[in-house]
Structure 1
Amino acid sequence: MHYDYKKGAQRVDEILSSEIDIKNDSETLPKDDSKFSFSNGYYVWITAIFVDIRDSSQLFSQAGLENAEETGKLIRAFTSEIIEILRLPNGDSDFLREIGIRGDCVYATFSTPLKSDILACADKTFYINTYLNMLNKKLVKLGKPEFKAGIGMASGQELVLKAGRDHTGINSKVWIGNAVNRASNLSSLGQSEITSERLFYSKCAFHNFIAGLKQRNSDKDVDSWFTQYTDDSGNVSQHAGIIKTDFDSWIENEMN
C-alpha cells in the first residue's frame, strides 16, 4: 500500500479553500440524495430520535457461542418493531430522512419544519415506549430477561451536508448541530439512576410539541405527565412515561 500524501495535502487544501452553498431558504430537507453534492448543504429544522439499550455491554459479553443465537433473537426483536414505528409516515408526509442502527442503538432523523411534525415524532416515542412494555411482557413469559432502554428525542436547526470522498461512492450525510447529539445523549438517561421512565425530550423539542399534545388531550392534565431534569452542565430536558392507552390495554388483556 502506498498513500500519496502530497496529493492528499492538495485535496485537503482544495476542500478548506472551497465555498459551501448553504441553502437556508428550504423548508424541508430533501429526501432525494441527488439534491446533495460536495459543494452544498441545507440548514433546516430536524428532529432526531435515539432508542438505546441499557446495559447492552453486559448482554453482549455474556452471549458466548452457546447463547449467541438467543442473544441475536433478543436484539432482532428489540430493533425490528422500533424500526417499523420510526419508518411510518406522518399522514401523507414521508418525513423520515435517515434510519439506522449504531451498535446497541436504533436511531432516526426527520425533516420537521412544522410543530405538527415534531408532535408526530413525539407520538412515535409514545408508541416505542408502549412497544417495549409489550416486548418485555413476552420475554417474561418466556423466562428471558427484560430490556431496559432510554428513548431520547431532540429538535433544532442543523446544517446537513454530504461528507466523504468525492468520486468514490463512499459518502454519508453529516448532521452539524445540537439535535442529533442531544437526542443520543438523552437516550442514555432513560431507565437510569435518574428515573425509571424511558422517555427524555430536549427543551426545544418539548417546547414545540407540548401545545399540540395539550390540544389533543384537552380533558387531561398533560403537564403532570412530565418532570423537568437539569444535568450538571445546565441542560434542561423533560422525562415522562407516556404510553398509547389502547395499545397498552391490549397488552394488559394478554394481547388477545
Structure 2
Amino acid sequence: MKTNFLTFKLLYNSLSYLFSLKGQKLKCLNFKLSKNQLVIMLMVLLTISFSSCSGEDGKMGPEGPQGIAGEDGLDGEDGEDGEDGEDGINCWDLNGNGIGDITNDDSNEDINLDGVVDALDCQGADGVDGNANVQLFKYNLDVFFDYSQLDLNLKSYIEKPENYTYIFYIDHSTGLRYSIPGHIYNNKGYARIYTTPGGALRVNFYDLNDSNLIIPGGEYTHLIVVAIELSNTAKNSGNPISELKAAGVNTSDFDAVAAYFGLNQ
C-alpha cells in the first residue's frame, strides 16, 4: 500500500509539472504540448495509477446466521372428485350375474328356500357347539404312598360339582391310561369311583377277589377328570354320556372324548 501511495505522489508531481509546460515548446523534443494532449496524458497516468492501487481480494467472511423462515403459502384448491366406482356384487349373487336365481340345482341362490333371494340367503350354517361347558383337569397322585383309597375334592376345580357329570381316567407310570371305573394295569384289579353332591370324590381299588388292593406310591401318576356341565334338560332327564355314545364316541377312549369336545390334552 505504501508503494502505491508513492507512485500516486510521483504521478501527481509529474502532472503538475506537465501542466506548467502548457503551450511551451520542448527543445529536446522539438514540439509544443497542447491542452488536449495534456488531458489525454493525465487520463492515461490516472488509469495506470488506480490499476496499480488495487490489492488482492480478501478471504471470504464467515457464513451469516440463517434467516427467519417465511410464512406458509396459501392452500391450493381442492382437486376434482374422482369417478364413482362400479357397484359390488350382492352377497347372495353366487354366480355374479346380478339376478336372484331360484332353481332346483346347485345354482339355486334361494338358500333358505323362502321363495325370495335376499340378504337372508347369505347366512351360513350353524357352527358346531363349543366346549365352554366342558372342563378338563387332573389330580397329581405322586403325593400318595401305598394306598387302597383316594379321597379328593371336586371343589378344588369346580364351584358347583352337582351341576356336572364326569368321565374319569387314571394314568399309569408306564404311560398307559385307563378308564375308571374299570380294570387297571395288568388286570390285577379294578377301581371304583364315588362322588357326592357336596363335591367329595373317592377312588377305591380292589383286587380280583374284591378285597382292598394296595397301590404302591408312584405306580399311578394322575387322575384325569372330564367334567361336562348339565343343561336344564339333562338335569331332569338327559344323560350326556348316553348322548356321547349315540354320537359314536367311545367314552373309554380319552383321545376320542377329547377330540369330540375339542379339549387340549
> How high is the TM-score relative to the length of structure 2?
0.19
Greater C-alpha radius of gyration? 2
Which has the larger strand fraction?
1
**Which structure ranks higher in relative contact order (CA pairs < 8 Å, sequence separation ≥ 6)?**
1
> How high is the TM-score relative to the length of structure 1?
0.19
